[in-house]
A and B are shown apart, each in its own frame.
Chain A
Amino acid sequence: NAGVTQTPKFQVLKTGQSMTLQCAQDMNHEYMSWYRQDPGMGLRLIHYSVGAGITDQGEVPNGYNVSRSTTEDFPLRLLSAAPSQTSVYFCASSYVGGASEQYFGPGTRLTVT
């Protein structure tokens, strides 16, 4: 089992560029989510999905889009990158229901200049 994988590991964008952060899991988890981690702010939820075709917004969704066409994949799209989106992004997955522990990917460090 690879668990939760994320690509790329590092990325530098210019303001206004778009890109997609990839996330995949091989644990057959229904729930997948994206967080960003900033110094002094902790982990904050961007978007989440409880299954293929179902997505919803978290705490800080502005500037990001998601889709869930398969159980395994949950890409995060930055439509027009801004310096405020410089952060480390983590994808996580878990079973739905109960207090299921979430498994995190290794993260993508994004810098927007």
Chain B
Amino acid sequence: EDQVTQSPEALRLQEGESSSLNCSYTVSGLRGLFWYRQDPGKGPEFLFTLYSAGEEKEKERLKATLTKKESFLHITAPKPEDSATYLCAVQKNNAGNMLTFGGGTRLMVKP
């Protein structure tokens, strides 16, 4: 059975304190791993797609990496506006566009 587990469930950081969020996955035949950001009361907003182990993508203070079992979202020198819930999802081969989501990590960055 496909599984996506995110840790920690919640993370409090001081502004400027770098850290990483984890997404562990078990899926047969990964087509892509997605990271989304979700602000309270809003829909998820697309951040990155990773396709194969070793791949990295960056956007401002965020960098996503992928191995065969997990993905990390590294946040460098976070600011209060980075506070949000970060969601990880996997799409597997031969399953169309269906996504399986993890439970999310709620990030709070204090000034």
Contact = CB atoms under 8 A, between A and B. Distances in A.
Contacts, number: 62
B57 to A, nearest CB: 12
A96 B91 CA distance: 12
Interface residues of A, number: 28
Given A99-B51, A99-B91, A101-B34, A43 B45 contact: no
A32 to B, nearest CB: 9
Nearest to B47: A101
B103 A50 contact: no
A105 B99 contact: no
Nearest to A100: B97
Interface in B26-43: 31-32, 34, 36, 41-43
B43 A105 contact: yes
Interface of B: 4, 31-32, 34, 36, 41-46, 49, 51, 87, 89, 91, 96-99, 101-104
20 contacts: A33-B97, A40-B103, A42-B4, A42-B102, A43-B87, A48-B98, A58-B98, A96-B96, A97-B97, A98-B31, A99-B49, A99-B51, A102-B97, A102-B99, A103-B46, A104-B36, A104-B44, A104-B45, A106-B43, A107-B43
